[in-house]
Amino acid sequence: MWDYTDKVRDHYLHPRNVGEVEKPDGMGEIGNMKCGDALKLTFNLDDEGTIKDIKFKTFGCGSAIASSSMLTELCKGKTLEEASKITNKEIAEALGGLPAEKMHCSVMGQEALQKAIEYYKSGGKAAETKEKEGELVCTCFTVTDVEIEQAIRQNNLHTVDEVTHYTKAGGGCGGCVPKIEEILAKVTGTKIEKAPAPKPMTSVQKIDKIRETLDKEVRPMLRKDGGDCELIDVDGNTVLIKFSGHCAGCAFSEMTQFGFIEKILKEKVFSGLVVKRA
């Protein structure tokens, strides 16, 4: 289970500034549902050019919600120039820290803010149509070499695992790991010891890993709120589960299914997994 700080728990359970600003001056959207993370950030400026209202909508885990919530608090009352200097490190530090595996959530907030600012400066056009800069490296999570290089420089990263924690690149099939190693070597100027190629899991290994992840990472969290889930079957890359307890009739069970359970299984087992209810 993740070791979350009290501030992370507070902003996850009681997020600030949730929603969408009407007729926003700035708007930024990043991520997608397939990757398990999506964030929309909107803001309005006052007559003096400072951020007077800022809100977010996110589809993701507790760290994503907490990071987005804290980011909106940090932005309030700042000019766009001041807000543009907010880094993912500042977001994480304001939360009292994030688990290394969840640092990409703070990066997601930083990127959404930059897009929202671009939207404002372009009159509401460029940010919506602008394609990612650079060469696509990680096809599982659509991460480019430019994004990887930026994460390495800004956060002083030195290993493939660290790059994965901050960008998610390499966290899926693993096919992009050699390219990430090349980028690390180029940026840091050091020789990176190549990691062994990942071996595909057998069906039995996959099922065991799914069951282990549900038992250690998912069910304990659901039980805290009086809920639970049961693994019914694994059909190829489709994981069939059944909710019980409070989760069975909860209005937020769909968010739990995709934003929590499926996300964790994608990160811990295989990025191509899909969670369905039996």
For residue 152, what is the domain's CATH number?
1.10.10.1100
C-alpha 11 chain-centroid distance:
15
What whole-number distance in Å separates Cα of residue 250 and Cα of residue 264? 20
Q: Domain containing 237 — which CATH number?
A: 3.30.300.130
Q: Are residues 95 and 71 in the same domain?
A: yes
Q: Are residues 24 and 116 in the same domain?
A: yes
Give catalytic status of residue 105 as yes or no: yes
pLDDT along the chain (278 residues), means of 10: 80 93 92 68 94 91 89 96 92 90 85 91 64 79 88 90 86 81 90 64 84 91 89 88 90 83 87 87
Whether 128 is covered by a domain: the verdict is no
Cβ contact 257:277 at 8 Å:
yes
Q: What is the pLDDT of residue 240?
A: 93
pTM summary value: 0.63
What whole-number distance in Å separates Cα of residue 88 and Cα of residue 99? 13
Residue range(s) defining the domain that contains residue 260: 203-277
75, 105, 229, 247: the catalytic one is: 105
